Amino acid sequence: MLFTNPAGAPELGCNECGCRWFDRIKNECYECGWEVPKDEIKAFADALEEYYKKTGNPP
């Protein structure tokens, strides 16, 4: 699932255990090993890009 942190930046969270720690190489949750679906990764990347456009900070 997607979260927004207090700074307004999107964060990826685990659908299974609700934590926000991911192995970005394997796209797996550190806590429970849940694998992030590809469309969720895409949604996160899009949200991140949107955020960077808004703030003017490139990725």
Question: Which positions lie near Zn ion, rule CB under 5 A?
Answer: 14, 16-17, 29, 31-32, 34
Residue 13: count of CB within 10 angstroms of its CB:
19
Of the pair 23, 49, the CB lying nearest Zn ion is at: 23
Q: Compute the distance between CA of residue 58 and CA of residue 38 in angstroms, rounded to an integer.
A: 23
Of the pair 33, 53, the CB lying nearest Zn ion is at: 33
In whole angstroms, the minimum distance from the beta carbon of 15 to Zn ion comes to 8
Question: Which of 42, 44, 40, 21 shows the shortest CA–CA distance to 32?
Answer: 21
In whole angstroms, the minimum distance from the beta carbon of 47 to Zn ion comes to 19
